[in-house]
């Protein structure tokens, strides 16, 4: 229905924004990292998902198409509605989620607020078929550490691209997560 909106931000709230599109103000729910990157009067273009409920029409906005795609994939799972899917994307990027799903890293997902071990396993098993090349079932110990390294760098304000580039340059003999984070920080700091 409404696939994309472009306009000027009128207001930024705790979990939503109001986007003025040619004189019409649209209230959109956004993932928390996206809200942190924007401010009032910014020009913004968002990919959107319209959630139709019995008593409401809610718009969800995403800066990246990959985030919208992951949001819609999460909605295909039982017991995950738009608010839960948005909460998940507020805690991890679509790329991080895809990596966790492809590697079968339910432990990483279960560390998120509101997701228990069983829910994390259901997310992995329910979405793994959407990602060709997934290696679920193969144990790669470095994958969990790599996801933690990326999350740590993202939390410190580095871009996902910089985090992944730093990760490529970390020697494979560094296995401990803390040591990998330290090495990654040295990479992005140089």
Domain contains 46: yes
Structural domains in the chain (count): 3
Please state, for a pLDDT cut of 90, what percent of the chain lies above it: 50
User: CATH no. for residue 74?
Assistant: 1.10.150.20
Check residue 142 and give its pLDDT. 44
Per-residue pLDDT reduced to its tens digit, 109-165: 999 998 888 899 899 989 988 887 665 544 444 455 677 888 888 888 888 778 878
Classify burial at 59, counting beta carbons within 10 Å of its beta carbon; exposed 0-12, middle 13-18, buried 19 or more: buried
Mean pLDDT of the residues in the chain: 88
Task: State percent of the chain over pLDDT 70.
Answer: 93
DSSP-derived pairing of the beta strands 24-29 and 57-62: parallel
Beta strands in the chain (DSSP E): 4-12, 16-21, 24-29, 43-52, 57-62
By residue range, what is the domain housing residue 180?
A: 141-189
Of 39, 62, 85, the last residue of a domain is 62
183 inside domain = yes
pTM greater than the 0.85 cutoff? no
Is there a single domain that holds both residue 79 and residue 112? yes
- Which residue has better confidence, 5 or 154? 5
Nearest-angstrom CA–CA distance, 99 and 129: 13
* 71 and 40 share one domain: no
Whether the CB-CB separation of 73 and 128 falls below 8 Å is answered with: no
């Amino acid at each position: 229905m409404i696939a994309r909106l472009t306009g000027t931000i009128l207001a930024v709230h705790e979990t939503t924004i109001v986007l003025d599109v040619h004189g019409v103000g649209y209230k959109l729910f956004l993932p928390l990292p996206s809200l942190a990157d924007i401010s009032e009067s910014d020009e913004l273009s968002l990919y959107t998902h319209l959630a139709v409920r019995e008593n409401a029409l809610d718009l969800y906005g995403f800066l990246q198409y990959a985030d919208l795609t992951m949001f819609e994939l999460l909605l295909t799972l039982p017991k995950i509605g738009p608010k839960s899917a948005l909460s998940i994307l507020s805690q991890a990027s679509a790329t991080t989620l895809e990596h966790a799903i492809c590697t079968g890293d339910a432990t990483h997902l279960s560390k998120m607020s509101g997701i228990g071990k069983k829910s994390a396993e259901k997310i992995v098993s329910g979405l793994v078929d959407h990602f060709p090349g997934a290696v679920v079932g193969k144990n790669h110990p470095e994958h969990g550490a790599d996801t933690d390294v990326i999350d740590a760098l993202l939390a410190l304000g580095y871009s996902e691209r910089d985090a992944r580039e730093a990760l490529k340059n970390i020697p494979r003999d560094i296995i401990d997560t803390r040591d990998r984070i330290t090495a990654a920080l040295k990479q992005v700091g140089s």
